[in-house]
Amino acid sequence: RKEVEQDPGPFNVPEGATVAFNCTYSNSASQSFFWYRQDCRKEPKLLMSVYSSGNEDGRFTAQLNRASQYISLLIRDSKLSDSATYLCVVTHNQAGTALIFGKGTTLSVSS
Amino acid sequence: GAVVSQHPSWVICKSGTSVKIECRSLDFQATTMFWYRQFPKQSLMLMATSNEGSKATYEQGVEKDKFLINHASLTLSTLTVTSAHPEDSSFYICSARRPGGSRELFFGEGSRLTVL
């Protein structure tokens, strides 16, 4: 079983749609959780951290369920500019140096 | 603006040659930098952790003699792919964190290596 698993997609949605991505991780000792965004042939960039209580940043909402080892990202009112690959990332150690990346979920938003 | 910069962005070389990739932190000192590799449709895989003034720490399965890492200053780490072969063709990305405990990783733009 892979350490971080994501549905690769692609998710093809119209502008304005709400879309949700899921991610599961296998190591119960994982300590920190993130969503990164990666545009085609570009470097990943941090989208948001994921906290146990859940957190929201504008149109983006992240949830963490430690018991189920499950992370989600919800995007509301999708924009064309949201088209990208979304990477689920977990860390195993306190220092956060051992980052484990999922393969990513590809989102394509069309007009 | 960019926080971490990589050079070159693209490199094509013949099999057997060595290729050096530079990673610079632009507005902060990075005692630690990370080198990742990403094959098409695969996840980013950590290759090694580069430590300023000391030896790099390599992940299991990564040959330290093939992927030479030098972190000679607080703003520069280099990755040299020695005697490159076509199977080394990949997207190499470096990253670093700002000092102060932030967990956010800033990535360089990446270097796409094609070995003919």
pLDDT of residue B97: 85
User: How many A×B Cβ pairs under 8 Å?
Assistant: 42
CA distances to A18, A106, B4 from A60, in Å? 10, 16, 26
CB contact residues (below 8 A), chain B span 33-52, against chain A: 34, 41-46, 49
pLDDT of residue B1: 66
For residues B22 and B98, what is the distance between their CA atoms, to the nearest angstrom? Answer: 18
Per-residue pLDDT tens for A3-14? Answer: 899 998 899 999
A5 contact residues in B (CB cutoff 8 A): none
Per-residue pLDDT tens for A32-71? Answer: 899 999 998 788 999 999 988 889 999 999 999 999 999 9
Per-residue pLDDT tens for A12-22? Answer: 999 999 999 99
Give one DSSP letter per residue of A33-95, joined into a string. EEEEEE-TTS-EEEEEEE-TT-EEETTEEEEEETTTTEEEEEE-S--GGG-EEEEEEEE-STT
pLDDT of residue B80: 97
Q: Is A49 on the interface with B (CB under 8 A)?
A: yes
pLDDT of residue A5: 94
Q: Is A94 on the interface with B (CB under 8 A)?
A: no
Q: A53 CB contacts (<8 Å, ≥6 apart)?
A: none
Displacement of CA A76 from its chain's centroid (Å): 14
pLDDT > 90 fraction of chain B, expressed in percent and rounded: 72
pLDDT at A1 exceeding the cut of 70:
no
Q: Is B68 on the interface with A (CB under 8 A)?
A: no
- Tell me whether residues B49 and A97 touch, CB distance under 8 A: yes
pLDDT > 90 fraction of chain A, expressed in percent and rounded: 71
CA distances to A9, A93, B35 from B76, in Å? 37, 25, 12
pLDDT band at B72; cut points 50, 70, 90: confident
Instruction: Report the residue of A6, A43, A88, A93 to disrupt the B interface, i.e. the one with the largest count of B CBs within 10 Å.
Output: A43
Per-residue pLDDT tens for A90-100? Answer: 987 666 667 88
